[in-house]
Structure 1
Amino acid sequence: MENAHTEGARTEGGRRADVDGAAPVVPHRRSPSVPPAGFADLEAATAGLRPPFAVVDLGALRANAVHMVRRAGGKPIRLASKSLRCRPLIGDVLRQPGFSGVLAFTLAEALWLAEDTEDVLVGYPTADVPALRQLGSDERAAARVTLMVDSVEHLALISEAVGPSGPPLRICLDLDASLRLLGGRLHLGMRRSPVHAPEQAAELARAVVSRPRFRLVGVMAYEGQIAGVGDNRPGPGPMRTAVRLVQRISARELRERRAAAVRAVRSVASLAFVNGGGTGSLESTSAEPAVTELGAGSGIYAPALFDHYRGFRPLPAAYFALAVVRRPAPRHVTVQGGGWVASGAPGADRLPVPVWPRGLGLLPAEGAGEVQTPLVGGAADGLRLGDLVWFRHAKAGELCERVDRLHLVEGDRIVDVVPTYRGEGHAFL
């Protein structure tokens, strides 16, 4: 569904934003059409760089941030650091009105970010004993970092790691948000937490508050089957219809169960926050009275997997460029590198998408290669050795695991070069 954010949108640099050339490429199909405006600016800005390199369009990034805040309906967005993996850009987004706090992906990362950030929620449980010991002995970090748990086993592990004395530790409960039907025999959604029913949440809450060093401060429930699955993906129409139906049923069920779980937990302890949602479900999750904040981040870079939602269309903001090194046959070129495949269930939608020059696609027998990637299409005949092909990653922050810096572009110039986590010497996962 088009809206005012996408139709006729322009970046701050003034160029027409690329909103049409974003769909992931099924290996046997050509890449989607991409307007020529914009890539001329990117190529002019990066003319002196040696590929491979990665670029972030600051105009698109900031427009995406503004639009996410609008979609959040007045509730703050906790920024998912895994979707950016670049401290300077995390700081840039957090300075935008409507964003508050970080949703980290490991405790080691959270401790690092907490040096400069006052509110860091670790979005996943940890078994990192050295990091737990560090947290348990650091009063400042303990006041800034919140741990995630979904079992008494987690509580026991943390207690053993940190010992009986030291600053209190902030704890958040992870509530399973999947849809379970037929008495639990049918499971739709991610398998995350074993805590599904409100009674289970209350029982775990009592276990938390019974330990002197723990302070129960939050509840989180991430509905990945809604927020992370596009409802307008390419493929058979009946499949899209099924996805939309499941998402509607799941949203209704979770709204009631999440509210009941929050009431049950609040009967045990006061809560500072209830976190839910993701880039794909900001509107629906923000409408739940029980939810006090949203967690999201992928919409900032707008990777290819987020091209297939009816309700919103973010502006692609992150790209990487590879050089042509072979011309093996008519209508074929080969670029160096390219096997930057996204995590998740293996499939064509996890492959990087060649978006410029338009008319290029991956070969079904080879896909995106470790050292080289062959491409096919009419545009290949116009490319010479050394020319660039521009790609989008299927997911957001995973791009930053492949490069040590991001070149920030406004219009036709690079305005800054900033390190990724990798560029700062960190590979947390």
Structure 2
Amino acid sequence: MGAGETGTSGSTGPDQGYEWALADFAAALADLRISHGAPTYKQISQAARAAGRTALSSSAISEAINGVRLPSMEFTLELVRQIAGHDPQVREAWRERWTRVRRLQRRGTKSRVISPEESSPNEGGSQQSVNQPAVDPHSAALREAAEIVAQARGEAEGLLLEAQVKADEILRAAEEAAKKRAARDNEISPAVARLMTRESMRIILLGPPGAGKGTQGMYLKRILGVPKVQVGDLMRENISQGTGPGLQAKEIMERGDLIPDGVYMDMLRTRLSRTDVSDGFLLDGLPRTLGQSQRLDALLDERGHKIDIALHLDISRDEAVRRISGRRICKVDSSHAFHVLYAPPQGYDACRVCGGALMARPDDSRQVVKNRWEVWEVHTDPVVASYGARGRLVTVSGYGSVDEVTDRAIGALAAFFG
């Protein structure tokens, strides 16, 4: 082979392969843009700026689409995203395309470090340049290392962009779910509309441990427009404010004794004298015994009122154990609550909100739950039967999602009141 042929072979080697691949890459970008409505460079740039991830200037877009140079992987994937949307298969295809072109680019760079034109076999069989000293192996190794670092950086940028895109998709899904939930909450169904025409709604929430009374109370108070009166919260409020009943309750608890029904009723009497409950309330945590039920009726009778209905959420003991024993509370902030089955934390023992350690409350152990269930059966189940005998009881299944149980409760209340 002559010297001219050798030179031609060198000029059509890997370097030209890269140039051809770059041109093909640019042409594919141009085709992608045309197939998606040919948005202007300015439109693409503005959309990327609004997304706030990777800057896509009009000049840089022009250079990429016209094959002036190979853009970074991060730039490429964001450009494709702004043109073609969020399809992960399209992004992955362009990631692979970019990697192939980048590989040819590196190969072309390497061929210029020790090229056939710059070296040939000498009489001893070693490669040495005809017109210049042999290439320093140390220098070549440094260049190779620099190329590996550049490749890793490009791949890392691509992975980062992919993570950002995925995070955006999750955020959009969460926003859509929140919008749907808000629309649902603001939508007044026929059942809710019928309930809203009532002069008052005084409702007791009944159910065994773990039935979801607290959760349903939060949703129902917003839908029905009446406050929720939770006896535990009422107790803490009275103790913190140092009211007469609160001081009594504190002293009794410090002795380890049970709080008499009269103390609860004194707290409740004060709470029900406030104007916010004049049109009704949701009462959670009381009555737990027939005696408390009778005292409650007498208390309301003082004001010329009565309980309109008792809403009973029904679940099995196995389900109660499963729900309560699976609860985990953050040690840093007890308001961060999770469930190992229904709302899993980040890890088995890590809070998804702040990263704090999680714990199971002593009251949430299986044995405690079983004991609480037995207390419920002995003392509170007769209260449920009592309201049923008086025709003031509605029972709904406590199984399913929060929304499903809420819908069942609203439907049952509307049907009861007619």
When you count helix as a share of all residues, which structure comes out higher?
2
Same fold per TM (> 0.5)?
no
Based on CA coordinates, which of the two structures has the bigger radius of gyration? 2
When you count strand as a share of all residues, which structure comes out higher?
1
Specify the TM-score bucket, using the shorter chain as the normaliser: under 0.3
User: What is the TM-score normalised by the length of structure 2?
Assistant: 0.27
User: What is the TM-score normalised by the length of structure 1?
Assistant: 0.26
